[in-house]
Structure 1
Amino acid sequence: MRRFGLIGRTLGHSASARYFAEKFRREGIAGCRYDLFELAAIEELPRLLERLPELCGFNVTIPYKQAVLPYLDAVSPEAARIGAVNCVRRDGTRLTGYNTDAEGVRASLDGLLRGERPARTLVCGTGGAAQAVRYVLEERGMAYDTVSRDPARGRYTYAALTEGTVAAARLVVNATPLGTAPRTDESPLLPYDALTAEHRLFDLVYNPPLTRFLEQGARRGARILNGEVMLHAQAEAAWRIWNGDPE
């Protein structure tokens, strides 16, 4: 049995296990399973690996995309540039980290923007997922500003955002977990009245499909996209990595 899975602190919202179960059934992939492994702290990872020698690879989610780095033997060049890992391949005792979030962000922006090139983007969040978003924006030469609760980590704090700043940023990305089930009443604290039909909103959250962040944009005519495209794209990229095609 080849085993795969997802590590994180709280995984009740995750659709990864269901996605891979459906993939295995649809594609006739036998002898594989995908499980969720909640870790109260990243320090529990070595014990998990010792307990499951059949674990061939795993995804990494909040809050361990950066914390996992010291446990890895190698990191792909792209993951090193991003500064975060969300996919780990295991070969014996050797762990190699990759970042497939970037591929998911690329696919999502392609579908949302449809060739448009907003002059300014706001990225809410400064964690591992946000780092992948910023990496892709930089790759495409798209200017952005970051928003954080911590004034030392973002260009803006949420309290400092004005309607003018949001109005000028025609692409707004939620790269925080705010709004994820079961806490669906949460959303980034933005001046939503500044949104228009010219805005594009991308939420990395996919559960629920329509977050409060996206609903606020849709109500004002903005084009919106949740994190489902990203989930599928990064999962397929991870599967290729685990099966010998890291490119």
Structure 2
Amino acid sequence: MRRFGLVGRPLVHSASARYFAAKFEREGIAGCRYDLFPLREIGELRRLTDEIPDLCGFNVTIPYKRRILPLLEALSPEAERIGAVNCVRCDGGRLIGYNTDVEGLRASLDELLADDRPEEALVLGTGGASQAVQYVLAERELPFALVSRDPLRGNFTYDNLPGEEVARCRLIVQATPVGTFPRADEAPRLPYDALTPRHRLFDLVYNPPLTRFLELGRQRGARTMNGERMFVRQAEASWRIWNG
């Protein structure tokens, strides 16, 4: 049996196990299973890999995309530049980190923006997912500002983010877990009245499909996209990595 899975905490929102179970059945892939591995802290990872010697690879989600780095033997060049990992390949006892979030982000932004090019972007959050977002925006030479709960890590906090900044940044990327099931009634604290039909809102959350953040954007006429396309693309990229 070839084993795969997802490590993080909490995992109640995740569709990964269902996605891979459906993939295995649809594509006739035998002898494989994908499980959820909620770890109380990332130090439990080595115990997990010792207990499951047939673990071939796993995905990584909040809050461990950066905390896992010291436990890995190697990083792909892209993961090293990003500074965050969401995919790990187990190679003869060595753990090798990759970042497949960027593939999903590129595809999602291509669809959301099409031929539109916002002058500036606003990225909500400064965690591991945000680092992948920043990497992809930098690839496109699209200037961005960061909003963080920590005043030392962002250009703005949620308490001092001016409406003028929101109005100017026509692309807003929500890269935090706020609004994820089961707390689907929550949304980042923004001056939503500054949004217009020219705005593009991208939420990395895919459960629920319509987050409160996206709903508030739609009420102002903004074009929106959730994280489902990104989720599928990063999952398929992970599968390719695990299978060499």
Calculate the TM-score normalised by the size of structure 1: 0.98
CA distance in structure 1 between the partners assigned to 2:29 and 2:220 by the alignment? 44
Give the Å deviation of 1:163: 1.2
SS at structure 1 position matched to 2:176: coil
CA distance in structure 1 between the partners assigned to 2:214 and 2:196 by the alignment? 13
Structure 1 match to 2:158: 158
CA distance in structure 2 between the partners assigned to 1:107 and 1:170 by the alignment? 19
CA distance in structure 2 between the partners assigned to 1:222 and 1:38 by the alignment? 36
Structure 1 match to 2:213: 213
CA distance in structure 1 between the partners assigned to 2:104 and 2:77 by the alignment? 17
Amino acid at match of 2:80: A
Alignment of 1:117-132 (within 5 A): 117-132=117-132
Structure 2 match to 1:67: 67
CA distance in structure 2 between the partners assigned to 1:141 and 1:148 by the alignment? 22
SS at structure 2 position matched to 1:56: strand
2:236 matches 1:236: yes
Structure 1 match to 2:201: 201
Give the Å deviation of 1:115: 2.0
CA distance in structure 2 between the partners assigned to 1:78 and 1:60 by the alignment? 16
Alignment of 1:79-118 (within 5 A): 79-118=79-118
SS at structure 1 position matched to 2:159: helix
Amino acid at match of 2:26: R
Give the Å deviation of 1:9: 1.2
2:19 matches 1:5: no
CA distance in structure 2 between the partners assigned to 1:39 and 1:187 by the alignment? 26
Amino acid at match of 1:27: E
CA distance in structure 2 between the partners assigned to 1:115 and 1:15 by the alignment? 31
Cα deviations by residue, 1:30-68 (Å, 9 ceiling, x for unpaired): 111100000000010010001000110000000000010
Alignment of 1:139-154 (within 5 A): 139-154=139-154
CA distance in structure 1 between the partners assigned to 2:201 and 2:64 by the alignment? 26
CA distance in structure 2 between the partners assigned to 1:174 and 1:82 by the alignment? 18
Amino acid at match of 2:134: R
Give the Å deviation of 1:103: 0.6
Cα deviations by residue, 1:56-108 (Å, 9 ceiling, x for unpaired): 00000000000101111000000000000000000121110000011111011
Amino acid at match of 1:239: W
Alignment of 1:6-25 (within 5 A): 6-25=6-25
Amino acid at match of 1:221: G
Cα deviations by residue, 1:1-30 (Å, 9 ceiling, x for unpaired): 101000001000000011111111111111
CA distance in structure 2 between the partners assigned to 1:185 and 1:150 by the alignment? 23
CA distance in structure 1 between the partners assigned to 2:239 and 2:149 by the alignment? 34
2:25 matches 1:29: no
SS at structure 1 position matched to 2:146: strand
For the aligned residue pairs, the C-alpha RMSD in angstroms reads: 0.5
SS at structure 1 position matched to 2:184: coil
CA distance in structure 2 between the partners assigned to 1:222 and 1:16 by the alignment? 29
CA distance in structure 2 between the partners assigned to 1:143 and 1:74 by the alignment? 30
Amino acid at match of 1:92: G
Structure 2 match to 1:135: 135
CA distance in structure 2 between the partners assigned to 1:72 and 1:172 by the alignment? 32
Q: What is the aligned residue count?
A: 244
| Runs of 5+ consecutive residues of structure 1 not aligned to the other structure | none
Cα deviations by residue, 1:153-187 (Å, 9 ceiling, x for unpaired): 00011111111110000000100000000011111
Runs of 4+ in 1 over 4 A off after TM superposition: none
Amino acid at match of 1:52: I
Structure 2 match to 1:183: 183
Q: % of aligned pairs identical?
A: 70
CA distance in structure 1 between the partners assigned to 2:159 and 2:69 by the alignment? 32
